[in-house]
Amino acid sequence: MKKLLTIALALVLVCALATASAATTLVIGASSTPHAEILEAAKDLLAAKDLELEVIVFDDYVQPNLQLDAGDLDANYFQHIPYLEDFCAQNGTKLVSAGAVHYEPMGIYTNLDKAYTIDTIPEKAVIAVPNDPTNEARALNLLAAQGLITLDVAAGQTATVLDIVDNPKNVEIQEFEAAAVPRMLADVDLAVINSNYALQAGVEVVGTAIAVESSDISFPNIIAIREGDDRAELKTLVEVLQSEEMVQWIKDTYGTAVVPTK
């Protein structure tokens, strides 16, 4: 009887220790490049804190927020705050930022067969831009900064093509879903591309940017969570992604295409 009691107590202790040491798993939605890559690189640092990640890759900007709001994801990582705020306003979702990790300067890319510079862009050039409100405004402001168009100053970061007040070269702006813009570059003269999609497409498709957003313009990419979700695991995720180790990894891996916020 004594032996059986000892065995039983030992089993209880083993189970208790196993439960105590079991890692928590977070399901995170992310764009493939650089977001999912950054999350994968952080896994060892997170494992040391008993936190595991299941990373689900999305190729659009809509489903990660819808699935986060529905509770299918614990967090997502692909967007900046202006996009998140506009999405919530348009869709009635209650999502917030848990912390910023990096920003991606938007760039102007030229059709590789035409190889324009800013100074040689011709009359009536066709320029592809993202069609979601915040990234379209960024794209138009970048074109304006290069002198290709002039925008109504009141439009700011809500600018659309309707806010173009001067178009000296009569460029034609065509709007596409952000992920599709790199694919359109072969069919237009120029494209304004989000850095993550440019990285994903590769230099053999888009080349290198002929102009980029000023370093003074920052749209940090964030970890988004449901409003009121204050789990310690989510705070740990952000802390690790903002750590010195991850800051250095991002710099070493992406150079100036992806800039840590810390």
Please check the confidence at residue 260 and state whether its pLDDT lies above 50.
yes
Sheet holding 172-176, edge to edge: 172-176, 126-130, 190-193, 107-110, 211-212
Strand 75-80 and strand 221-226: the pairing is antiparallel
**pTM to 2 decimal places:** 0.75
Q: Where are the beta strands (DSSP E) in 81-205?
A: 95-103, 107-110, 126-130, 150-151, 164-166, 172-176, 190-193
DSSP 109-141: EE-TTT---GGGPPTT-EEEEE-SHHHHHHHHH
Q: In the chain, what are the domain boundaries?
A: 20-104+219-260, 107-212
- What are the pLDDT digits (tens) for 85-130? 999 999 999 999 999 999 988 999 999 999 999 999 999 999 999 9
Please check the confidence at residue 75 and state whether its pLDDT lies above 70.
yes
What is the per-residue pLDDT for 134? 86
Give domain 20-104+219-260's CATH superfamily: Periplasmic binding protein-like II (3.40.190.10)
> What number is the average pLDDT over the span 134-163?
94
CATH fold for the domain made of 107-212: D-Maltodextrin-Binding Protein; domain 2 (3.40.190)
Please check the confidence at residue 5 and state whether its pLDDT lies above 80.
no
**Domain pair 20-104+219-260 / 107-212, same fold:** yes
Strand 126-130 and strand 172-176: the pairing is parallel
